[in-house]
Amino acid sequence: MPYFDRLSARCAKVGALCVGLDPHPGVLQAWGVSDDLQGVETMALGVIDALGDHVACFKPQSAFFEIWGSRGISLLEKCISAIRDTGALTILDVKRGDIGSTMEAYARAYLSNGPLEVDAITVSPYLGFGSLTPAFQMAQAHDTGVYVLTRTSNQEGTDLQLGTTQGGHGIAQSIVDQAQEWNQSTGVNTVSLVVGGTHSDLGIDLTGFSSSLLIPGIGAQGGTISGLESSFADTPALLLPSVSREVLLAGPDPHRLHQAVDQVLTS
Amino acid sequence: MPYFDRLSARCAKVGALCVGLDPHPGVLQAWGVSDDLQGVETMALGVIDALGDHVACFKPQSAFFEIWGSRGISLLEKCISAIRDTGALTILDVKRGDIGSTMEAYARAYLSNGPLEVDAITVSPYLGFGSLTPAFQMAQAHDTGVYVLTRTSNQEGTDLQLGTTQGGHGIAQSIVDQAQEWNQSTGVNTVSLVVGGTHSDLGIDLTGFSSSLLIPGIGAQGGTISGLESSFADTPALLLPSVSREVLLAGPDPHRLHQAVDQVLTS
């Protein structure tokens, strides 16, 4: 079943929320574990175990596993497998972006059969939307998904993302439009977008976009679910808010993790 | 010693050339090895062994190691260590780019002490040049370097990269200028740029840029060293052309690999 359909079914069942697995030093400290691979393992597997049947997706942040080299990636494989066992989906936050055979290699790494296969990944379009084509093709062939960074939640991104292409289109808008064209021409919502939930003015038109939107910036970065519903009132897209610190800092107690998720969902 | 000084010394000794380690299926086939981790190991370690004292740097392409999950990253660690033993530098082509504590985690993974520590990495600025600050700071503190994607060698990148920021500056140009400002304000050439060698018109002004330029697109993508010298005649930057397929396809015979390097250098 295509990724978008699997995501929709999962959100209908447990609610539309993605929990980021960002084991940064502050989170590890809150959990009372050490800033090493053992600490990361305790925290990541603890969150998956506590929330696996309570949320639609987990979004492991690859950087925090890459710190530990091959041993960290081995733990990432373990987390992906643990998430799969719960029935939740994995959106691996890797923000990859390259050209030609290298982009194809990233697609092969994460979107087809292999030790790091996940349900979807994030990708970065600085080398042009077209350079991401091998990822879209691989995702389509394997019922996986791709989230293209479009309008990110941080302030430093605005100057570029709300700039203008050489051809005279808004940069973020041209990504929205090309993603929608891809999805329409193939008849499958393979291409999704990352759009931050922190902006009072998004600066892009999403009224024609019908796939899913991964929306970070909820919780610690200032956004709320009810705020989202008004910012994104005009789009038919599936809204998938993503929260990290706000939930993670409630651990390790599973009951408090559940409460934190419920609190975000009603924020 | 700062990365830029180490790179300059190495280039003065053996010539300014970077050899990409891109073990894609076509290269593995030319080497007569299988498209699996063993094939990648034979090819990558073979190139490092044959050319380690003949070139300034190697640029492993992370994607081709990530395909194999933790076992691939373990091989990448082995390659980094083998390169270090030859005296050549490693520029790891990872094109990472994120914000805040996640960008800091990538910096910690590749630019400070750890299993994947290298001399320099490539980074992608779609989230804004400012979002890369944690990498610049880590690089400065650890005598490592950062190459920011600026004007890439592929055609799909032009529309965005030669576009205009919201503030009215050229996008690629604003990266050049901010990199130079960073280097000037700190007095160290920590921030370098990736600029393709395939464009007849670069569309950016590099006359004020004094760090190094990593220039892919030589060889298979159509650029030549003599072509570079004219395209980049106006910049005081250290030019570091990067070649992959053109050299790799000459393997596995070490003599033919040497010849291929010499041929590129006189192209």
DSSP-derived secondary structure for A14-50:
H-S-EEEE---HHHHHHTT--SSHHHHHHHHHHHHHH
How far does A217 lie from chain B, in Å, by closest CA? 12
Asked about B13 being catalytic, the answer comes back as no
pLDDT(B225) > 90 = no
Q: How many CB pairs under 8 A join A and B?
A: 198
| Amino acid B2: pLDDT | 98
Distances in Å between the Cα of B44 and the Cα atoms of A37, A106, A163, B61, B118 are 28, 18, 41, 11, 16
Is-cis flag, bond preceding B252, omega within 30?
A: yes
Task: Decide if A96 and B63 are in contact by the 8 Å CB cutoff.
Answer: yes
pLDDT winner (highest mean) among A164-168, A260-264, B227-231? A164-168
Average pLDDT, chain A: 95
Instruction: Identify from B93, B131, B159, B176 which residue to disrupt to test chain A contact, counting A C-beta atoms within 10 A and taking the largest count.
Output: B159
Distances in Å between the Cα of A216 and the Cα atoms of A196, A220, A222, B155 are 5, 10, 10, 31
| Amino acid A211: pLDDT | 98
- Under 8 Å CB-to-CB from A37, ≥6 apart: which residues? A68, A71, A72, A75
pLDDT band (50, 70, 90) for residue A122? very high
| Amino acid B135: pLDDT | 98
Residues of B with Cβ-Cβ distance to A24 under 8 angstroms: 101-102, 104-105
CB nearest to A126's CB, from B22, B124, B165: B124
Q: What are phi and psi of A52, to 5 degrees?
A: -55, -35
B171 touches chain A (CB under 8 A): yes
User: What is the mean pLDDT of the segment spanning B37-66?
Assistant: 98
Specify the higher pLDDT residue, B68 or A199: B68
Task: Decide if B77 and A69 are in contact by the 8 Å CB cutoff.
Answer: yes
CB nearest to A163's CB, from B110, B115, B171: B171
Task: Decide if A116 and B66 are in contact by the 8 Å CB cutoff.
Answer: yes
DSSP A131: G
| Amino acid B221: pLDDT | 66
Q: How far is CA B168 from the centre of its chain?
A: 29
| Amino acid A4: pLDDT | 98
CB nearest to A101's CB, from B24, B95, B165: B24
B119 touches chain A (CB under 8 A): no
pLDDT band (50, 70, 90) for residue B223? confident
A151 touches chain B (CB under 8 A): no
How far does A174 lie from chain B, in Å, by closest CA? 10
| Amino acid A220: pLDDT | 65
**Residue in A180, A227, A220 with CA at minimum distance from that of residue A201:** A227
User: What is the mean pLDDT of the segment spanning A15-38?
Assistant: 96
pLDDT band (50, 70, 90) for residue A230? confident
pTM comes to 0.97
pLDDT more than 90, % of chain B = 91
Residues of B with Cβ-Cβ distance to A69 under 8 angstroms: 73-74, 77, 109, 114-116
d(CA A186, CA A181): 8
pLDDT more than 70, % of chain A = 99
ipTM higher than the 0.90 cut: yes
| Amino acid A219: pLDDT | 74
Average pLDDT, chain B: 95
CB of A175 closer than 8 Å to CB of B143: no
Distances in Å between the Cα of B77 and the Cα atoms of A70, A184, B93 are 8, 42, 14
CB of A118 closer than 8 Å to CB of A18: no
pLDDT(A70) > 70 = yes
User: What is the mean pLDDT of the segment spanning A122-140?
Assistant: 98
pLDDT band (50, 70, 90) for residue B220? low
CB of A62 closer than 8 Å to CB of A40: no
Q: Residues B210, B195, B60, CA angle at the centre, nearest 5°?
A: 105
Interface of B with A in 188-247 (CB under 8 A): none
How far does B12 lie from chain A, in Å, by closest CA? 30
Question: Side chain identity at B249, as an amino acid letter?
Answer: L
B63 touches chain A (CB under 8 A): yes
- Under 8 Å CB-to-CB from B70, ≥6 apart: which residues? A70, A71, A73, A74, A76, A77, A115
Instruction: Identify from A73, A158, A178 which residue to disrupt to test chain B contact, counting B C-beta atoms within 10 A and taking the largest count.
Output: A73
Instruction: Identify from B160, B178, B195 which residue to disrupt to test chain A contact, counting A C-beta atoms within 10 A and taking the largest count.
Output: B160
CB of A34 closer than 8 Å to CB of A68: no
* B212-215/B191-195 β-pairing: parallel
Q: How far is CA A170 from the centre of its chain?
A: 23
| Amino acid B236: pLDDT | 96
CB nearest to B95's CB, from A67, A97, A128: A97
Task: Decide if A160 and B152 are in contact by the 8 Å CB cutoff.
Answer: no
Two structure tokens written together for B259: 């010849």
User: What is the mean pLDDT of the segment spanning B119-148?
Assistant: 98
Instruction: Identify from A95, A113, A138 which residue to disrupt to test chain B contact, counting B C-beta atoms within 10 A and taking the largest count.
Output: A95
User: What is the mean pLDDT of the segment spanning B213-228?
Assistant: 82
pLDDT(B183) > 70 = yes
User: What is the mean pLDDT of the segment spanning B108-132?
Assistant: 97
